[in-house]
Amino acid sequence: MDGKKDPPTASSGHPMETKKRLGKKKRNRDCEEEPPTKKKSPCIISDPTDSHRTTPKKLDNNPRTGEFPPRPMVREVTAPPRLDHFIFHKELGSGSYGKVFLASHPSNGKHVALKIVKKRLLLEDSRRSVLVERRALEVTAHSHVFTHCYATFQTEDYVFYAMEYITGGELRNFMDRRAPCDMETTRFISAEIVCGLQYLHGRGVIHRDLKPENILMDTTGHIKISDFGLAALNIFGNKKMRDRAGTAGYMAPEVMCMNPYNASVDYFSFGVILYELVVGRYPFYKGGNSARIRRSIRQLQYPEDMSSTIRSILEGLFCKSCNQRQQFCDAIRNHSFFEGVNWEEAEEGILCPPYIMDPTPADDYNETIPLDVVLWEEEEEDKSPISPEDERLFCGFSFTSHKWR
């Protein structure tokens, strides 16, 4: 969901229909013929056929006055979002699979980053993983270290993610302004990244595309890991992957060579980010030649003035053996680099950042973008229809978080 960045490669990916189609009757979206499940998560409504109406609490009258207390001013949104519910204000970024727009929802006043992904691109990339990002977002819904997804929905040609709008910018922008960073800044950001990776890996999720462009920062300086389009799910125990996924320059060597790998590939990516935070530049060959990247990884030179503590943790994160790297990262909280970190506070998101974020310019919500500009289409003759079989792959895609309502 980031703009102007190296295109990722993977077996899974991201990205409406034209304005004239909005009024047409749509085909079945989320298996409406199937009855809703009886057990529902307290946080997620996983099927749009479920009733989204909530029974309001009965207000007890005041025993002294006999009057009912005033109703809260916040409006409750009882229906799942639709495309025509949103007002679009500006484009936030674009990638190989879709675009992200700043949008507002008049019914509840929320501002969201609405990610728009083309179904055809997802199907062309990997038919088996069209629901990966949606499921990963459900896994991360209860952690502050990740961008929250309010809702997902779909049309005939597109899928949509209504994401939490993070106004502090990307970690890349932060590093461009401030790197090389001091030890306290580097330690704080690294500790929150470690909390995020351990949360993911403990739930069987490998991010596989961790990079500064996919780490956002809120206005106070806390990080938010985003973009799970290349994630791998249900990777537990000794299970390993072999497919090539990620962004060149942040991939571990075993991923580039398509050798078996485990969750430690995310820690290699974290090592690249840590090096950039400390040194202020990228550590390896920066180009598209994979062989030269691998050679530069083997021949990495550390600055002479780098502290032994920083070098020690980087050497562990850049370990060539994914199994040895995993063993090192299993005990990473005990490394001297993280001395003094209160990990409980880091996990709860209550550590105070040791820096003050630069003020961000206010967004102009008076400007609007027409829907026919937001939705981009191929020429009709170049557009292949999505088969009913492929449409069924998107069954269960739509959900609505309790935070949306």
pLDDT tens-digit map of 283-341: 998 877 878 888 898 889 999 999 999 999 999 999 999 999 999 999 999 999 999 99
Domain presence at residue 113: yes
Establish if 217 belongs to a structural domain: yes
Lowest average pLDDT, out of 136-150, 254-268, 280-294, 351-365, goes to 280-294
Q: Smallest Cα–Cα separation from 44: which of 148, 168, 190, 165? A: 148
Strand partners, 93: 100
How many domains is the chain built from?
2
Instruction: Give the pair of three-digit tokens for residue 241.
Output: 């992957």
Percent of the chain at pLDDT exceeding 90:
58
In a domain, 1, yes or no: no
Domain at 87, CATH number: 3.30.200.20
| Res 220 pLDDT > 60 | yes
Does 187 map to a domain? yes
Token pair for residue 102?
């700043």
Based on the fold, state whether residues 161 and 177 are members of the same structural domain.
Answer: no
Q: How far apart are CA 24 and CA 229, in angstroms?
A: 30
Helix residue spans in 211-263 (DSSP H) = 253-256
CA distance linking residue 31 with residue 46, whole number of Å:
11
Q: What are phi and psi of 150, to 5 degrees?
A: -75, -40
Query: Do 27 and 156 reside in the same domain of the chain?
Result: yes
Q: Are residues 181 and 159 in the same domain?
A: no
The answer as to whether 270 is a domain residue is: yes
| Structure confidence by residue, pLDDT tens digits, 244-267 | 999 988 999 999 999 999 999 999
Question: Hey, how many other C-beta atoms are within 10 angstroms of the C-beta on 213?
Answer: 23
Q: Are residues 206 and 272 in the same domain?
A: yes
Distance CA 161, CA 121 (A): 16
- Residue 79 falls inside a structural domain: yes
In a domain, 359, yes or no: no
Does residue 263 sit in the same domain as residue 371?
Answer: no
Q: Are residues 184 and 220 in the same domain?
A: yes
Is 5 domain-assigned?
Answer: no
Provide the mean pLDDT of the chain: 82
Asked if 304 and 335 sit in the same domain, the reply is: yes
Q: Is 160 in the same domain as 175?
A: no
Residue 224: the pLDDT is: 97
Q: Same domain, yes or no, for 342 and 383?
A: no
Q: Which has the minimum average pLDDT: 167-181, 297-311, 360-374?
A: 360-374
Domain at 295, CATH number: 1.10.510.10
Task: Say which range, 63-67, 214-218, 345-349, has the weakest mean pLDDT.
Answer: 63-67
| Domain encompassing residue 291 | 171-348
Same domain, 333 and 233: yes
Does 272 lie in the same domain as 195?
Answer: yes
Residue positions annotated with a catalytic role: 209
Domain match, 261 and 192 both: yes
| Start-to-end C-alpha separation, the chain | 24
